[in-house]
Amino acid sequence: YVSGDSFRMSADPVTMFAITAVKTLSDIKASKKQAKIEAQRYEERKKLAIRQAADEEAQRKREYWATIASNKASQAGSGFTLDSKSFLAIQTDVTNTMEKDIGTIRLNLETDLGELGFAQDLAKSKRKQEQFGGWVSIASAGYEYKAKKDKYDS
């Protein structure tokens, strides 16, 4: 407002800077808290992916052993010997298929963990940038409000 011949600001620059700084500090604190929560979520997702892969692998091995047992029972009922080349070829094929399936499960797990790790690193980087930006904003506001105060005081 205008008082006599002098121009007066509605709020002094120090007060404005303090309000801006407190809000920015609150934002930085919230960003740090959110970063911690995000990190925990990513770690939980990694643990879940590992558990799921272990469960899939265990299930595949159970299926393998059931197939082997079934093949042996069928073979015994048909009168072939356990060293029959046909029987051994079937068992080898079942084993090879199981090993490939387990390899695929493990490869998929590593891919999932890699993607989660990348996403986690990106989120962490974004939060650090937010926090750094907050500090820069406080510094910038400090210089700006100091200049306004100097102008106000003169």
Segment 57-80, tens digit of pLDDT: 999 999 999 999 998 888 777 776
Confidence of residue 1 (pLDDT cuts 50, 70, 90): very low
**Average pLDDT in the 87-114 region?**
94
- 118-137: pLDDT as tens digits: 999 999 999 888 888 888 88
Question: Lowest-pLDDT range, 80-84, 88-92, 97-101?
Answer: 80-84
Three-class SS string for the chain? CEECCEECCCCCHHHHHHHHHHHHHHHHHHHHHHHHHHHHHHHHHHHHHHHHHHHHHHHHHHHHHHHHHHHHHHHHHHCCCCCCHHHHHHHHHHHHHHHHHHHHHHHHHHHHHHHHHHHHHHHHHHHHHHHHHHHHHHHHHHHHHHHHHHHHHC
**Average pLDDT in the 150-154 region?**
72
Percent of the chain with pLDDT over 70: 88
- 27-62: pLDDT as tens digits: 889 988 999 999 999 999 999 999 999 999 999 999
